Structure 1
Amino acid sequence: MTFLAADAPTPMPEGAGPGPATRSAYAEADDPLGLLDLFGDPFVRDPYPWLDRLRSESPVHHDPATGLWLVSRHHDVRQVLLDTDRFLPDNAQHAATPLPVAVLRVFARARFTLPPALANNGTLSHAGLRRVVTRFFNAQRVTAAVPVIERIAGELLDALSPQLESNSGCDLFTSFAQVLPCRVLMELLGIQGVEPGTLIRWSDASLELFWGRPTLERQLELAESVVEFHRWLTSTVRDHAAPSDSFIGALANHRLPDGSPLDVETAVAACFFVFIAGQSTTGQLIATVLRRALAEPGMWPRAAAEEGQAEAWVEEVLRREPPVTTWRRVTARATRLGGVELPAGAPLLLMLMGTGSDPDVFPDPERMCPHRANIRHHLAFGAGRHRCPGASLARTEAAVALRAAARTLPHIRLATRPAEPPMLGLLSFRAPMQVDVEQRTEHLV
């Protein structure tokens, strides 16, 4: 993780830029797409018109407010992900908003450090570390985990039934979608000594601090939670109490290419991001899957009754509305992409969400169409050597969650108020933060 002080005498980093007050002047002067604000409510609420315009008018577009080059066509994004010689992962986890001195002091006092481990690691150590991770998320382990996922989903949904029967409604995000992947991850990786709610709070704080645009006051608040997370991970890795067949135990036994043991700091960095990706982003996916299924006429009963329908719906949501909306790369040298000359060190923002709606790849992209012939061509999990190692588990958890919810709660619908849920709108993450449901009145009669 790379941090930058607010007053550092360096060029503006990727993801950083002027605040909202100066946004308009930049946009009107230099941005042919108008008032594009990657953190703004119009973009977060409905990014598709902006993404469509980027693809058609400026597929490799320099955003003057952030300094990022926005890459939006499926072909170009895939090319960047696969070409690790020209396009490096080094900036993948840079703080999107510069961290001020006050926050850096909080980190310095806590000895907080996250050296490159997985998504931002372009060194020779990446392949071995990735093998450690994929060993816990391979197809065999995911298949074996289905009964665990079903059991936890059943427990959570059974607890909601009395609340819904009393006609008081509930939020499927905080009570189900968010909790399910956290508890599953804890069981699969042997995570102990922390409550699920605490791990969720730590993960959400990390996402907001490093991928959001929080105020200084909010940054300081988030930094305290992130430091708690890091301190717990460091203590857990150092005490050598984790079983050898657990995830942390496997990292402790891992050897680097030169034969030396993995250092504690890198092991902590690997855990930090695996824990976040394994539960926060999967929870965001489940929330989107549930909300979109409830909004699609006829989809809820079909997900419950038809074999393979839940899996097909999850795949279509991943194409159209993935929780990880963008990812970053940096050019290793001056190069050409999509007809545009890029200098060495140019920070790229790959618009993963936009690639799923590229009409050159997916006909009629705005229509939700499960069982598309080429559905697995989407880039929701990336591509190449840095493709998400937890993709199979995320898919499986989301499908099990949808099928279990549709069977256990067959008579629910989206609550009429509020009509639009609050949305998580970070640089690389987007999802509904509420899925409010109620019993259908015709069922209660």
Structure 2
Amino acid sequence: MTFAAQSVSAGDPAGLLDLFGDDFVRDPYPWLAALREESPVYYDPGTGLWLVSRYRDIRQVLLDPDAFHPDNAQNTVTPLPIGVLRVLARAGFKLPPALANNGSASHAGLRRVVTRFFNARRVAAAVPVIERIADDLLTDIRQRMDVTGGDDLFTSFAQVLPCRVLMELLGIDGVSPATLIRWSDASLELFWGRPTPERQLELAALVGEFHRWLTRTVTDGTAPRDSFIGALAEHRLPDGRPLDVETAVGVCFFVFIAGQSTTGQLIATVLSRALADGDLWSRAAREEGPAEAWVEEVLRREPPVTTWRRVTARPVELGRVELPAGAQLLLMLMGSGSDPDVFASPERLCPHRANVRRHLAFGVGRHRCPGASLARTEAAVALRAAARHLPRVRLAEEAGDGPMLGLLSFRAPLRVAVEQRHQVT
């Protein structure tokens, strides 16, 4: 079977589904709806992945780690040529099972280390930190806009806020936020993108730098015992052995990327969609509650983590399709949030819908995102603070045509261009 685009796009009757194509990246919803309705477990020849698009099937996979293993969650989507592998090898790059890609007995203990730093109590205590950093950034943006009339809230705010927050919460120093952002973005593109061989070499050099810095940070022995790095150093595996350096670095690699890049992508989408709703923008500045409700609806409809991978441990039936052992699955998390069997009028952003927290944006089960509470809180604080500091801001005319991040598992606007509204006197 070929999943032809005429099923969902009359404008491209000869095309095929391309998960990296501009049509899909900019408006994936018709494709996702057609997948759910016509072929909810569909083999995509372009990627070699089985696309799972119905809510109930995705939830089944995530809740059955014995049948569906996470081992492929962080594998590179585009094969790495020899030259790129050599660059990574020279940097000592390894990515052993740690968190998202770990189905072994060591996962539960490592997860407890991470969740201890991102639990509800710590996140609540971090709100003043998030607010202070947001106010600092937005004060600079407002002053700059008074001169220039416009700004990009992605590069100046959405990207930077979660990076600086993460650095303070985890006690990270010795590197600038800009460098950490560059390393993190390069890692996402190399592992989840479709870069050219030339681009892969550029990205591998940055990922190698990131890995060397993480290794030095983990092994230099200067981290306080009550810090995140210190907690990893104190951690013991199920057999009593200390955590090895490679796995500790793998944990940091995942946490540092997820804690800043994906949260920045969420904030960018939240701001972009809120700015398109003038009433919501003004209410978020004045009232308690609208920001949190808006964030939850964006997570349901347009999450930054759009897909995640699993591999079958044995032959299994899913959605009336017989899958062999070793089948590579792509769980369409974004599509699950628009499943009409679960969410009424899924195409509408409806804050305060009764079952909004049933979405799967953070996964479910033993691999549910440990940073979910922090991501939600940062996005809500970011929206409230931006609405207060920039009450007369609006999306610039060119904002709708801005670039989009279109990786296999990550999607967000790469620019949130805004301008000042003129006051009517």
Q: 1:317 aligns with which of 270, 273, 298?
A: 298
Q: Which amino acid aligns with 2:279?
A: G
Correspondence for 1:293: 274
Q: How many residues are aligned here?
A: 419
Corresponding position: 1:348 with 2:310: no
**Aligned Cα root-mean-square deviation (Å):** 1.5
Q: Please state whether the residue corresponding to 2:400 is helix, strand or coil.
A: coil
Task: After TM superposition, list the pairs within 5 Å mapping 1:76-225 onto structure 2.
Answer: 76-225=57-206
Q: How far did 1:302 drift?
A: 1.1
Tell me the distance in 2 between the aligned counterparts of 1:201 and 1:387: 26
Q: Please state whether the residue corresponding to 1:117 is helix, strand or coil.
A: coil
Correspondence for 2:54: 73
Query: Deviations along 1:16-67, whole A, 9 cap, x unmatched?
Result: xxxxxxxxxx958999875100000000000000000000000001101111
Q: Please state whether the residue corresponding to 1:327 is helix, strand or coil.
A: strand
Correspondence for 1:426: 407
Correspondence for 1:327: 308
Tell me the distance in 2 between the aligned counterparts of 1:259 and 1:28: 50
Q: Please state whether the residue corresponding to 1:442 is helix, strand or coil.
A: coil
Tell me the distance in 2 between the aligned counterparts of 1:279 and 1:238: 23
Tell me the distance in 2 between the aligned counterparts of 1:40 and 1:419: 17
Correspondence for 1:239: 220
Q: Please state whether the residue corresponding to 1:136 is helix, strand or coil.
A: helix
Q: Which amino acid aligns with 1:306?
A: E
Correspondence for 1:389: 370
Q: 1:399 aligns with which of 353, 358, 380?
A: 380
Correspondence for 1:306: 287
Tell me the distance in 1 between the aligned counterparts of 2:105 and 2:316: 24
8 A Cα contact 1:27 1:65, kept in partner:
no
Tell me the distance in 1 between the aligned counterparts of 2:400 and 2:371: 33
Task: After TM superposition, list the pairs within 5 Å mapping 1:3-42 onto structure 2.
Answer: 35-42=16-23
Tell me the distance in 1 between the aligned counterparts of 2:89 and 2:419: 47
8 A Cα contact 1:168 1:438, kept in partner:
yes
8 A Cα contact 2:399 2:415, kept in partner:
no
Corresponding position: 1:409 with 2:390: yes
Tell me the distance in 2 between the aligned counterparts of 1:420 and 1:300: 21
Among the aligned pairs, what percent are the same residue?
77
TM-score if structure 1 supplies the norm length? 0.92
After superposition, the Cα gap between the structure-2 partners of 1:353 and 1:28, relative to the gap in structure 1 and judged at 3 Å, is: closer
Tell me the distance in 2 between the aligned counterparts of 1:301 and 1:28: 43
Query: Deviations along 1:86-112, whole A, 9 cap, x unmatched?
Result: 100000010010001110011122221
Q: How far did 1:442 drift?
A: 3.0
Correspondence for 2:240: 259
Q: Please state whether the residue corresponding to 1:92 is helix, strand or coil.
A: coil
Q: How far did 1:165 drift?
A: 1.9
8 A Cα contact 2:399 2:418, kept in partner:
no
Tell me the distance in 1 between the aligned counterparts of 2:421 and 2:125: 36
Tell me the distance in 2 between the aligned counterparts of 1:112 and 1:173: 30
List structure 1 segments (4+ residues) > 3 angstroms apart after TM superposition: 26-34
8 A Cα contact 2:4 2:16, kept in partner:
no
Q: Which amino acid aligns with 1:199?
A: L
8 A Cα contact 1:327 1:351, kept in partner:
yes
Q: Which amino acid aligns with 1:193?
A: G
Which is further off, 256-265 or 301-310?
301-310
Q: Which amino acid aligns with 2:271?
A: L
Which is further off, 167-176 or 199-208?
167-176
In the alignment, structure 1 segments of 5+ residues that lack a partner are 1-25
TM-score if structure 2 supplies the norm length? 0.97
Correspondence for 2:11: none
8 A Cα contact 2:399 2:416, kept in partner:
no
